[in-house]
Amino acid sequence: MTGTAPLSFVPVRKAISDYKKATGDQNGVLELMVYAVECGNDFTVEYGDIDERFYDNLVSLFSKAAQLLKTMDAQTKDAVLPRLIAVVEKADGIGWGYYDGISDALYGAFPPE
């Protein structure tokens, strides 16, 4: 193998979009978004700093997930919000403005009490 394939969020966005179009299931869409953010976050924690575009995509997806979660019922919020908080906590110290971006998105949508 000569080199590595570049990281791309196109398949992630397409899978989420296709699922949304096929089912209209907002809870499923939210789950896919949060899972993708968790995977991207874990990837960078495991393998180190990626690049600005990678983090911009994660911040965008995280922000959309947080905004969608705001529209959900209390049970869904109680189940998913701790997962988003965990992503932010794990991201502390990651560069390219990533930590600040997801932290701002989370606490903009769910201000601390």
pLDDT along the chain (113 residues), means of 10: 70 96 98 97 88 92 98 98 97 90 97 89
Q: Domain residues for 93?
A: 10-109
| 3 located within any domain | no
Residue 1 pLDDT? 41
Evaluate whether residue 77 is within a structural domain: yes
Residue 60 lies in a domain: yes
- Asked if residue 1 is part of any domain, the answer here is no
Answer yes or no: is 5 within a domain. no
Q: Which pTM was predicted?
A: 0.92
What CA–CA distances, in Å, run from 13 to 20, 65, 90, 101? Answer: 11, 12, 23, 19
- Work out how many domains the chain is built from and give that number: 1
Domain membership of residue 2 (yes or no) is no
